[in-house]
């Protein structure tokens, strides 16, 4: 069975993750309830006449996938697989509003076309003239992990030598308003927010895109190998430790072999208890978190994998992402755990190569 190497990465997020050394210019938010991704200048990769017409998700996807391919020194991948919780949300809302506000008249197709969940994967394929396997998953907080699992299967089964895999989500106003009345976004009155020591319910909503090139061979640019992924729809809090233990034993990993645990805490006092379970299980292991930097969105775990991959490559954990003071050095094996509101649990295991 072939191994999957992460050979190139691109990331757009609420942090400066483009044209910057790894997390060297961190901005920590404690007051905003919604964070926008820092949009790069797209002119290098997208022709100016397209930039204005393209959905934000498509632009972020094209930019980060271009970066990932460039780093891996790959022109056209054998397969393109994306995950997105909500797709190109701005266009969906725009089309829906136009339908409702004009009583189903005077509509144009552009925003309808862009609203389709697989628009980003389709547009990347079109741009690269990539006629290979092209999939899009839309399942909440495991949208990206399903894409990753699929990519790994493609490589293991020799269906593809290289896979471009990514997660994309964008914010849009109606969805923000809806999530606010649903109580899923933190209330302004609860400032200051702390992800590590939460006192209030809800999350800080954000957006972003992260793309990875997985290949069946190691390159100079390699970050890590993708060893295993598991996805589960729902768990009770007291089932989490069992889930982690089973996953590790299924993959013949001793818990002591884990050098770093990366957790998806988002500062929601109601649901971060899930993460505490894993944190407790690894209390003598280095732990890191990232959603205080990326904010929460359905494919935020892509930012988590971007961070974990960089830590393995650079062999250093930035102080701002440390969850505890355990310092081992020589990071070989990283376990990532994520869930959202008790649903869509995922475990991802990567190793230094």
- Residue 119 as a binder of other proteins (CB under 8 A): the answer is yes
Sign of the torsion formed by the C-alpha atoms of 317, 318, 320 and 325: positive
Q: Which is nearer to other proteins, 140 or 255 (CB)?
A: 140
C-alpha distances in Å from residue 269, one per residue of 219, 262, 276, 291: 42, 18, 11, 14
Within 10 angstroms of residue 324's Cβ, the number of other Cβ atoms is: 14
Q: Which is nearer to other proteins, 18 or 153 (CB)?
A: 153
Among 62, 69, 72, 137, binds other proteins (CB under 8 A): 137
- For residues 339, 33, 268 and 17, what is the CA-based torsion angle, rounded to 10 degrees? 40
Among 45, 232, 326, 353, binds other proteins (CB under 8 A): 232
C-alpha distances in Å from residue 181, one per residue of 36, 88, 174, 192: 20, 21, 11, 20
- Residue 181 as a binder of other proteins (CB under 8 A): the answer is yes
Among 233, 246, 251, 316, binds other proteins (CB under 8 A): 233
Among 118, 200, 324, 332, binds other proteins (CB under 8 A): 118
- Residue 90 as a binder of other proteins (CB under 8 A): the answer is no
Closest-CA residue to 174 (of 109, 252, 86, 245):
86
Q: Which is nearer to other proteins, 105 or 330 (CB)?
A: 105
Residues within window 234-263 making contact with other proteins, judged by CB under 8 A: 234
Tokens linked to 152 = 């790994």
Closest-CA residue to 32 (of 153, 191, 155):
191
- Residue 96 as a binder of other proteins (CB under 8 A): the answer is yes
Q: For 129-166, what is the HEC assignment?
A: CCCCEEEEECCHHHHHHHHHHHHHHHHHCCCCCEEEEE
- Residue 182 as a binder of other proteins (CB under 8 A): the answer is yes
Q: Which is nearer to other proteins, 40 or 87 (CB)?
A: 87
Residues that bind other proteins (CB under 8 A): 80, 85-87, 92, 95-97, 99-100, 103-105, 107-109, 112-113, 115-119, 121-123, 125-126, 128-140, 142-143, 146, 150, 153, 156-157, 174-175, 177-178, 181-182, 230-234, 343-344
């Amino acid at each position: 069975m072939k191994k999957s190497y992460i050979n190139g990465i691109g990331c757009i997020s609420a942090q400066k993750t483009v044209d910057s050394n790894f997390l060297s210019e961190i901005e920590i938010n404690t007051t905003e309830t919604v964070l926008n991704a820092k949009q790069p200048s797209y002119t290098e990769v997208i022709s100016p006449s397209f930039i204005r017409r393209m959905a934000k998700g498509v632009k972020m996807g094209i930019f980060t996938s271009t970066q990932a391919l460039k780093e891996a020194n790959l022109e056209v991948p054998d397969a393109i697989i994306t995950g997105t919780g909500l797709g190109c949300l701005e266009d969906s809302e725009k089309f829906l509003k136009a339908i409702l506000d004009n009583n189903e008249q005077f509509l144009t197709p552009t925003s309808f076309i862009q609203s389709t969940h697989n628009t980003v994967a389709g547009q990347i394929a079109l741009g690269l003239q990539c006629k290979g396997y092209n999939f899009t998953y839309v399942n909440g907080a495991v949208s990206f992990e399903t894409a990753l699992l699929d990519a790994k299967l493609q490589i293991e089964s020799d269906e593809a030598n290289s896979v471009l895999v990514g997660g994309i989500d964008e914010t849009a106003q109606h969805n923000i308003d809806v999530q606010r009345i649903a109580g899923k976004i933190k209330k302004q009155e609860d400032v200051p927010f702390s992800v590590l020591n939460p006192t209030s319910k809800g999350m800080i909503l954000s957006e972003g895109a992260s793309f990875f090139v997985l290949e069946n061979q190691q390159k100079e640019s390699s970050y890590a190998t993708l060893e295993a992924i598991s996805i589960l729809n729902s768990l009770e809090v007291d089932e989490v430790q069992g889930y982690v233990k089973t996953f590790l034993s299924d993959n013949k990993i001793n818990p002591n072999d884990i050098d770093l645990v990366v957790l998806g805490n988002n500062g929601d006092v109601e649901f971060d208890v899930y993460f505490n379970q894993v944190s407790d299980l690894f209390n003598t292991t280095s732990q890191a978190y990232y959603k205080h930097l990326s904010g929460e969105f359905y494919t935020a775990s892509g930012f988590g994998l971007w961070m974990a991959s960089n830590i393995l490559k650079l062999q250093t954990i930035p102080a701002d992402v440390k969850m505890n003071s355990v310092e081992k050095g020589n990071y070989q094996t990283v376990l990532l755990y994520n869930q959202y509101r008790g649903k869509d649990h995922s475990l991802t295991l990567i190793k230094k190569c």
